[in-house]
Chains A and B, each alone.
Chain A
Amino acid sequence: MTAVADARVTGRARGASRDLTGTGTLLRLALRRDRIMMPVWVLCLGLTASSTVGRLDSAYETPAQRTQLVQDMNGNGATRALFGTAFGDSLGALTVWRVGAFLTVFAAIMSLLIVIRHTREEEETGRQEALSSCVVGRRAGLTAALLTVAIANGAVTLLVAGGLAAQGGSGAVALGLAVGLSGMAFGGLAAVAAQLTESARLARGLSAAAVGVAFVLRMAGDAAEDGSKGSGHVLTWLSPLGWAEYAPPFAAERWWPLLLIAVLAAASISVAYSLAGRRDVGASFYATRPGPRAAGPFLTGVFGLGWRLQRGALAGWVAGFVFAGAIFGAISDGADEFLGDSDQTREIIERMGGAQGLNDAFLASMVGILGTILTVYAASSVLRLRSEETDQRAEPLLSNAVSRLRWAASHLVISYLGPVAVLAVGGLALGLGYGLAAGDVGGSLPRVLGAALSQVPAVWLVTSLTVLLIGALPKYSAAAWGLVGWVVALGWMGPALKVSQSVMNTSPFSHLPKLPGEHVTAAPFVWMLLLSAVLTAGGLVALRRRDIGG
């Protein structure tokens, strides 16, 4: 009896170590594959932190200015939602206030991309199967992916901490850890998502949605309560991004919220491990249901196909914007309760939003956030066209009686009309949320909806640039993500960092009137629409002339 039990125990122990066989080789493979992408992410995050100190130093020179800034920004729910809560007026604390949330969100996105890329994507393409047939343990793939993401987050932690070390050692370490641990937590959640679904695309979508929900919860909680004066709001405490915020580096440094993030990371990673050991390679916990024997009347051609391929992502974005719009709308009311005797708040809000009334200005900044974030959807929708090509599905499709323009149009119709639909529902939710809170649905709904739709030309400009890339420089299509990152970073951080107008002008969103509130002229819209049309036409002409294939 005992002998049997002993054998089982040793068998299990041996199994556990065998599970990891080959991890080192897989790790080197992963690092080799990420040798460009990972350093770019790490450097961008690290430089953002260190360069912000200098920018804030020159933008708010005297301590009095900084104290005033913090008082103004914290005194108002809307600005707290927008920028997060400031926990101190030192240069370090201000840097955390300005880029802390940005860094944690982007570390989370970097981590989920890395994890999915080395787990579910490997399985979906069948590469994992070939690797697993070698001397590779059952959990080696997941371990290598998690080690890769740990290396990336470790480097981010070091760079962020190093960049801010001059502002105070423990604060710098706290911020570095907050960013790096958040990355690991969302990397762990992505690892769980990778076990649950068979599609890398869906796994990425689910993990990104988790980041989005955490972000909106953090915003809502910050809007409701000034976390620097009390224990913080429950909504913020519900969000892992809120834990990073509530361990305020360079201010009332609390280390235990960082522990919470570490616990989430450890918990999600162990869930992923136990799931990974229990399933078949390539499979997931949801069995795929059979499909129809024959194509329905809707799948008559490439347009039906394009809709089938794009509808899931569109539905996800619509749902996300309804959620975000409603919450943003509800917290927008009351922005003017603290109109402020300070010029600084007014100036920042004006730079970001507009002039007439803080409520309008706040709504305008929310509309601006929705618009800039939507460029992510616009680019991903167009890039679907490129992935169809690199995954070798375009070639057989185009060897049918389908012209290239028709094939491109089947996706681009959704890339252009999708953002309109998403902005429309986002605008409706924002207007409705605000209208209900302010008791003026009839008046605010059309104004906010119009404001949301005014973002369309700027989003389309990003769409068109992506089309041009795919047509003219297909090998560099991924550069569209650089463009999106630039636009989002400028929109998010530019105003408070007092970035010069000429730099701000590189973003199409800087050329839009701040709506609702500002006076509308046709010129910027006309120019942007014209430019979009020209870029799209150029991209399509290039697509017609070039070779198709990887």
Chain B
Amino acid sequence: MKTAISASGLHKSFGRTHALDGLDLEVEAGEVHGFLGPNGAGKSTSIRVLLGLLRADSGAVQLLGKDPWHDAVDLHQHIAYVPGDVTLWRSLSGGEVIDLYGRLRGGLDQTRRAQLLERFELDPTKKGHTYSKGNRQKVALVAAFASEVELLILDEPTSGLDPLMEEIFRECVAEERDRGRTVLLSSHILSEVEALCGRVSIIRKGRRVETGSLAELRHLTRTSVTAELAAAPTGLSGLPGVHGLDVRDRQVKLQVDSDKLDAVLRRLTEAGVRSLTSTPPTLEELFLRHYQDDVTRTGTETGAGTGSGTGSEEAVAR
């Protein structure tokens, strides 16, 4: 597979703030790639570097085989960008802005433009300053989806859209994927990411902390197990990958690294299982683990081993 975006070791600081601290990112051509991270993690800065608006202090970056800083104009023929906060010119109508952006990119598919206006229920005759936030967002989305480009870079594009419009947005992204286009989707809406993205990268404090397909990432997290046993269990605490073990008489609650589940189940059946619930890790848990700030992190690290925590915020030793 071809690589659409590849960045390695990106550094960028503004004064004393290190916005990017050795960021890596790979996006394959034709995939919808989720780009996640808590507020202030450096997502928008990364995107601005990818667009050649900011110049990285160090590191290498290529989009579609080109350098975004030096070949910005050539590259931008093939890119459509939707910022999280769209500002329009007050005197220009939405329709004018959509056409202007189309003309400034590789071109605009007029049939698709008309379809999109209808689907997003957007009135193109209104002037820039009279649109609501959601409608401003729609102007940029219609312009992006109707453009003849290879790569879409969407920075929290659904902020301000109502649930109905978010559904339309998901359909549009799926269509783009089916047409073989690449999408980099920065988002906080986990259901959106789960529905659309094949792979995700999670960044935190200007570094990538996790990347892979959703299935792979799930594998890295823990399954919660609650069981009622016939007899008191033995040897559970000695098993690798078990966290937050809580045994009360014959009631057992624990969390286990998903790839170590097998051994735990074997021990439980040895004691005789009366009832068992096992909850797969949710995406929220996966993300929360990376979204936690340092305070909680160090807090649980010192308190580790007491077996009282839920385990979800406990740092994975990496």
Binding site for B on A (CB under 8 A): 124, 198-199, 288-296, 299-302, 304-305, 308-309, 312, 391-393, 395-404, 545-549
Question: Whole-angstrom distance between the alpha carbons of A305 and B100 in the complex?
Answer: 8
Least Cβ distance of B46 to chain A in Å? 13
Question: Whole-angstrom distance between the alpha carbons of A399 and B68 in the complex?
Answer: 10
Question: Whole-angstrom distance between the alpha carbons of A300 and B99 in the complex?
Answer: 8
Q: Which residues of A contact B130 (CB under 8 A)?
A: 288
Question: Whole-angstrom distance between the alpha carbons of A393 and B91 in the complex?
Answer: 13
Interface centre among A124, A299, A401, A545 (most CB of B within 10 A): A401
Question: Whole-angstrom distance between the alpha carbons of A309 and B89 in the complex?
Answer: 8
A548-B90 in contact (CB<8A)? no
Nearest A-chain residue to B74, judged by Cβ = A401
A288-B129 in contact (CB<8A)? yes
Q: Which residues of A contact B94 (CB under 8 A)?
A: 291
Q: List 8 A-B contacts (CB under 8 A).
A: A292-B96, A294-B96, A300-B103, A391-B87, A392-B87, A399-B51, A399-B81, A400-B104
A547-B100 in contact (CB<8A)? no
**In this assembly, does B53 line the interface, its C-beta being within 8 Å of a C-beta of chain A?**
yes
Least Cβ distance of B140 to chain A in Å? 7
B48-A549 in contact (CB<8A)? yes
Nearest B-chain residue to A287, judged by Cβ = B130
Least Cβ distance of A294 to chain B in Å? 5
Question: Whole-angstrom distance between the alpha carbons of A399 and B69 in the complex?
Answer: 11
* Ranked 4 nearest A-B pairs via Cβ: A291-B93, A295-B99, A400-B104, A399-B81
Residue pairs across A and B with CB atoms within 8 Å: the count is 119
**In this assembly, does B106 line the interface, its C-beta being within 8 Å of a C-beta of chain A?**
yes
**In this assembly, does B28 line the interface, its C-beta being within 8 Å of a C-beta of chain A?**
no
One digit per residue, 1 when the CB lies within 8 angstroms of any chain A CB and 0 when it does not, for chain B 96-129 equals 1011110111100000000000000000111101
Supposing A288-B129, A290-B126, A291-B92 touch, asked if A302 and B48 sit within 8 A by C-beta, the answer is no
Q: Which residues of A contact B126 (CB under 8 A)?
A: 290-291
B55-A547 in contact (CB<8A)? yes
Q: Which residues of B contact A288 (CB under 8 A)?
A: 127, 129-130
> Which of B96, B125, B153 makes the CB contact (< 8 A) with A299?
B96
Nearest A-chain residue to B124, judged by Cβ = A293
Least Cβ distance of A470 to chain B in Å? 16
A399-B76 in contact (CB<8A)? yes
> Which of A198, A296, A400 makes the CB contact (< 8 A) with B105?
A400
Question: Whole-angstrom distance between the alpha carbons of A397 and B143 in the complex?
Answer: 12
One digit per residue, 1 when the CB lies within 8 angstroms of any chain A CB and 0 when it does not, for chain B 51-72 equals 1011100000000000000001
For the complex, count residues of B whose C-beta is within 8 A of A.
42
B100-A299 in contact (CB<8A)? yes
Nearest A-chain residue to B123, judged by Cβ = A290
**In this assembly, does B83 line the interface, its C-beta being within 8 Å of a C-beta of chain A?**
yes
Given A299-B96, A403-B72, 4 additional A-B pairs, CB 8 A = A291-B91, A295-B99, A395-B53, A397-B104
One digit per residue, 1 when the CB lies within 8 angstroms of any chain A CB and 0 when it does not, for chain B 136-180 equals 000010000000000001000000000000000000000000000
B90-A199 in contact (CB<8A)? yes
A302-B96 in contact (CB<8A)? no
Supposing A291-B96, A392-B83 touch, asked if A401 and B54 sit within 8 A by C-beta, the answer is no
A401-B93 in contact (CB<8A)? no
> Which of B53, B93, B153 makes the CB contact (< 8 A) with A292?
B93
Q: Which residues of A contact B86 (CB under 8 A)?
A: 396
Interface centre among A296, A399, A401, A404 (most CB of B within 10 A): A399
Q: Which residues of B contact A395 (CB under 8 A)?
A: 48, 51, 53, 83
Q: Which residues of A contact B87 (CB under 8 A)?
A: 391-393
Q: Which residues of A contact B106 (CB under 8 A)?
A: 401
**In this assembly, does B77 line the interface, its C-beta being within 8 Å of a C-beta of chain A?**
yes
Least Cβ distance of A304 to chain B in Å? 8
**In this assembly, does B281 line the interface, its C-beta being within 8 Å of a C-beta of chain A?**
no
Least Cβ distance of A81 to chain B in Å? 37
Question: Whole-angstrom distance between the alpha carbons of A54 and B76 in the complex?
Answer: 61
Q: Which residues of B contact A397 (CB under 8 A)?
A: 104
Question: Whole-angstrom distance between the alpha carbons of A302 and B73 in the complex?
Answer: 13
Nearest B-chain residue to A124, judged by Cβ = B129
Supposing A305-B100, A392-B85 touch, asked if A295 and B76 sit within 8 A by C-beta, the answer is no
**In this assembly, does B34 line the interface, its C-beta being within 8 Å of a C-beta of chain A?**
no
Q: Which residues of B contact A403 (CB under 8 A)?
A: 72-73
Least Cβ distance of B190 to chain A in Å? 26
**In this assembly, does B95 line the interface, its C-beta being within 8 Å of a C-beta of chain A?**
yes
Question: Whole-angstrom distance between the alpha carbons of A548 and B49 in the complex?
Answer: 10
Question: Whole-angstrom distance between the alpha carbons of A472 and B67 in the complex?
Answer: 24
Q: Which residues of A contact B79 (CB under 8 A)?
A: 399
> Which of B85, B89, B93, B98 makes the CB contact (< 8 A) with A290?
B93
A400-B93 in contact (CB<8A)? no
